[in-house]
Amino acid sequence: MKHIPLYIMIIVSLFLGGFYLYELKQEKSVRMAKQKSKMLFPDLKARPSQITLRRGKSMINIQMDSVNGSPLWVITSPIRTKADQESVDALINTLKKLKYMRIISGSKENLSDFGLDDPSLLITITAGNKSKTLILGGLSPVKDGYYAMISGNKNIYLISTSAHDILNMNLYDLRDKGIFSLKAGNVKRLTINRDHFTWNLIKLNDKWHLQGEPDFPVDTLKINNLLGQLLRAKATSFEGKIPDDLDIYGLTHPIISVSVSDGEKEEEILIGTKKSKGKYGHYFAMLKGKKEIITVDEYFLDIIPVKKEAFKRLD
């Protein structure tokens, strides 16, 4: 039997290996092309400048702004307030990656069969000088997705329920829910009023002291932890404009007030009565200088000390 020279075997092996890698690359390219062809916003590459969500007659408008040279999403309608940056980014990223699971039909179908004659939500995204609108309809009969259309396109698509749930954000989801704007590391004064007691804590040389009681050993780590929890707290709801009569929220004589200051700016929250009955619930509150009633979780009250011994250093 005649033996095949080793160099020929090597050449053949290299050729077959190269051909296999080429086929894999081609298969991957075809797969990526198919995935890209299912994307509903394939041209959304530039950073958006505006997003509008419409439900019936209500509208939420979000615009890109700049604060101290940094880009920042701001809600301009129905109220003007800072947006929740992570929520807006999640909305945009979902739109960028949004793919349809299948095409249902063309323009001859009755839109009312898909909940698209009276859409549940319209999302218009603007990037550069181009705008595109996603029109969301109803849930499919087998509940495997939601019907959708794109402005300028007569096709009806089915998108996943997970994508729909992310896109279906309301005003609370999209607005910034932070109560305080100060950073814990910058706070130099903390004042707590609770149960007819007032404690003024002053930060000097990175150590906390209880004003008026120089011999009281304050645990600096405990105060720093307390500040971290307080300043990370979020509003659990926004109840509307502050009324003339604060008694209805128990805010004429609040049960607790907490103020923080960095030496230049002071922020103070007042806690009123409980909104809901039961063991656990939310409490009405307001931030001084703001024009809105909010609620805070009962946990917010739990982290505020009842006695000064809670922040005493144990040697």
pLDDT band per the 50, 70, 90 thresholds, residue 30: very low
pLDDT(186) > 50: yes
DSSP SS3 for 48? coil
pLDDT for 43? 83
The full length of the chain comes to: 315
Label residue 194 by pLDDT band (50, 70, 90). Answer: very high
179 assigned to some structural domain? no
Whether 149 and 82 map to the same domain: the answer is yes
Domain-terminating residue out of 123, 152, 174: 174
Say if 135 falls within a structural domain. yes
Range of the domain at 113: 50-174
The answer to the question of residue 25 being in a domain is: no
Query: Sorting pLDDT into bands at 50, 70 and 90, what band is 66?
Result: confident
d(CA 54, CA 136): 10
Instruction: Check residue 29 and report its DSSP letter.
Output: H
Residue 13 within any structural domain of the chain: no
Is pLDDT at 26 greater than 80 in this prediction? no
136, part of any domain: yes
Dihedrals phi, psi of 69, to nearest 5 degrees? 85, 0
Residue 277: pLDDT over 80: no
- Is 89 within the bounds of a domain? yes
Residues 138 and 192 in one domain: no
Residues 81 and 156 in one domain: yes
Q: Domain end: 148, 174, 200, which one? A: 174
244 and 225 share one domain: yes
Cβ 300 vs Cβ 233: under 8 Å: yes
Same domain flag for 169 and 194: no
Quote the number of domains for the chain. Answer: 2
- 274, amino acid identity: K
- The rounded percent of the chain whose pLDDT value lies above 70 is 86
Looking at the structure, tell me whether residues 216 and 287 fall in a common domain. Answer: yes
Residue 243 inside a domain? The answer is yes
Domain membership of residue 35 (yes or no) is: no
Q: Are residues 147 and 85 in the same domain?
A: yes
Whether residue 231 sits in one domain with residue 127: no
> Of 9-13, 151-155, 194-198, 203-207, where does mean pLDDT reach its minimum?
9-13
Same domain, yes or no: 161 and 204: no
Same domain assignment for residues 64 and 99: yes
Residues 60, 174: Cα–Cα separation, whole Å: 9
Q: Do 307 and 283 reside in the same domain of the chain?
A: yes
pLDDT of 25 > 70? The answer is: no
Q: Which of 174, 197, 220 is the last residue of a domain?
A: 174
pTM reported for the whole predicted model: 0.79
Helix (H) or strand (E) holding 224: helix 220-232
The tokens 């609108």 sit on which residue? Answer: 133
Please report, for the domain that includes residue 82, its CATH number. 2.60.40
User: 3-state SS string over 69-134?
Assistant: CEEEEEEEECCCEEECHHHHHHHHHHHHHCECCEEEECCCCCHHHHCCCCCCEEEEEEECCEEEEE
Res. 40 pLDDT band, cuts 50 70 90: very high
Residue 207 sits in the same domain as residue 301:
yes
